[in-house]
């Protein structure tokens, strides 16, 4: 029997401590929460992706009365980026969440489905995607989507 130990490095800092390019991405993600359609959960999530060509693409969660027909902000953002810029890698994605008119105090982490989509997008372009999770009290920064899903499912899983 063997043991496998996995560790994840997460940088933790405040908005004031963030580099200017990260601040800009967070501001875009926070702004994107205003376009969320969340009449059922009243949990408004926005995401902003920085592409390798310098473009920033945003998206927000879109709910539907027929669960699970809605879509999370991360997937809306990444799918939009992939559709509009199919040959352009996503370098970073920032996520912010708002409830009762206030941004969450602590970072909001992507759901399992979004983690898988972020990992697939990272693998698609063969370059790491920085993940920035915003909270009013602190921000988490991960160097790669693989850090969110360390034992992920990818094409190598299909043909192993």
- Is the bond leading into 65 cis (omega within 30 degrees of zero)? no
Distance CA 128, CA 30 (A): 23
Check residue 68 and give its pLDDT: 85
Check residue 107 and give its pLDDT: 98
Q: What is the helix (H) or strand (E) element at residue 30, kind and residue range?
A: helix 20-32
Question: Would you name the residues annotated as active-site residues?
Answer: 74
Q: Taking each helix axis from N to C terminus, what angle separates 73-84 and 112-125, rounded to the nearest 10 degrees?
A: 20
Pairing of strands 11-13, 139-142: antiparallel
Q: Domains in the chain, ordered, with CATH?
A: 11-149 (3.40.140.10)
* Residue 51 near residue 67, CB atoms below 8 Å: no
Query: String of b and e for 124-160 (b: at least 16 CB within 10 Å)?
Result: bbeebbbbbbbbeeebbbbebbbbbbeebeeeeeeee
| Residue 136 main-chain phi, psi, to 5 deg | -55, -35
Check residue 160 and give its pLDDT: 61
User: Mean pLDDT of residues grouped by 10 in the chain (160 residues)?
Assistant: 93 98 98 98 98 98 93 98 97 97 97 96 96 98 95 79
The first and second tokens of residue 8, run together, are: 């994840």
Check residue 153 and give its pLDDT: 84
Pairing of strands 90-99, 130-134: parallel
Prediction pTM value = 0.94
The first and second tokens of residue 93, run together, are: 């994605």
Check residue 157 and give its pLDDT: 80
């Amino acid at each position: 029997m063997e043991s496998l130990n996995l560790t994840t490095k997460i940088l933790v800092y405040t908005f004031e401590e963030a580099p200017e390019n990260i601040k800009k991405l967070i501001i875009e993600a926070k702004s994107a929460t205003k376009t969320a359609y969340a009449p059922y959960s009243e949990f408004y999530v926005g995401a902003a992706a920085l592409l390798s060509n310098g473009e920033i693409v945003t998206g927000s969660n879109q709910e539907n009365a027929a669960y699970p027909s809605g879509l999370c902000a991360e997937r809306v953002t990444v799918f939009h980026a992939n559709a509009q810029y199919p040959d352009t890698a996503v370098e970073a994605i920032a996520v912010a969440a708002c409830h009762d008119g206030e941004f969450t105090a602590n970072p909001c982490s992507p759901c399992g489905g979004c983690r898988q989509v972020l990992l697939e997008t990272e693998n698609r372009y063969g370059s790491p995607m920085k993940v920035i999770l915003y909270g009013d009290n602190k921000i988490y920064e991960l160097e790669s989507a693989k850090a969110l899903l360390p034992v992920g499912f990818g094409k190598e899983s299909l043909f192993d």
